[in-house]
Amino acid sequence: MNSPDPHPAASPSRTPAQESIFSEQPTGNAGQPAQQHGIPPAVSPAAQDTGFASRHLPGTPAGELKGMLPGMAFIALYLLLLSALNAVAAVQGVYGVGLARYGIFILCTLMAIGVFGFLRLRRWGWSLVTAGFLLLAAGDFYFYSRRHIGFLLIRALFSIVFFLYLSRTEVRERLH
């Protein structure tokens, strides 16, 4: 049987350090090559994954999966309705006058714009919607701690659930 050459010829792409790694062959008992004793060689050949293309891996490129999940559509419509109602309430003066009134109106408008971007499966829309739910939950938890209104706690918990749903890999893979 032909045994592999323990000192492969130098290739032009190898550096001197790589050449010294390839030239050193570990030996086992009585000076025999180490592969006969179960010791792996110093450098193993590159692994081949022949089934890579047929599997769905979590790291698929953005936009490879098409379409919107039903939960994504429901969450987008819920935030659109919520932001529209709060924008109308801000214009009517429910949140007071001055900075609070215009701040909430601008925030609700930004959320509505984010929903339309999210419905088109854009990353910037997803970012705005995700941040909107996190901000809504934080505000609801804050006002619940001040006023102890049960509705705010329930809405904050739903907002956290929606935020966690939007953070899933299956949702993020569908964005462009």
pLDDT at residue 160 in the model? 98
Per DSSP, the residues of 81-107 read HHHHHHHHHHHTTTT-STHHHHHHHHH
Beta carbons of 171 and 163 less than 8 angstroms apart: no
100 lies in a domain?
yes
pLDDT at residue 86 in the model? 94
43 lies in a domain?
no
What single-letter amino acid sits at 143? F
Question: How many structural domains comprise the chain?
Answer: 1
147 lies in a domain?
yes
Give the integer Cα–Cα distance in Å for 106 and 135.
14
pTM beyond 0.85, yes or no: no
What are the C-alpha distances in Å from 158 to residues 42, 103, 138, 155, 163?
55, 23, 12, 5, 9
pLDDT in tens, 59-87: 556 556 688 999 999 999 999 999 999 99
Give the integer Cα–Cα distance in Å for 144 and 154.
10
pLDDT at residue 96 in the model? 87
pLDDT in tens, 81-133: 999 999 999 999 998 888 989 999 999 999 999 999 999 999 999 999 999 99
pLDDT in tens, 128-173: 999 999 999 999 999 999 999 999 999 999 999 999 999 999 999 9
pLDDT in tens, 10-44: 555 666 655 555 555 555 555 555 555 566 556 55
Q: Residue 107's domain spans which residues?
A: 70-172
65 lies in a domain?
no
pLDDT at residue 98 in the model? 87
Show the CA angle centred on residue 25, arms to residues 23 and 29, nearest 5°: 155
DSSP H/E element including 164? helix 150-166
pLDDT at residue 48 in the model? 67
Per the structure block, which two tokens stand in for 97?
A: 């006058």
CA–chain centroid gap for 144, Å, is: 31
- The stretch 34-56 carries a mean pLDDT of 60
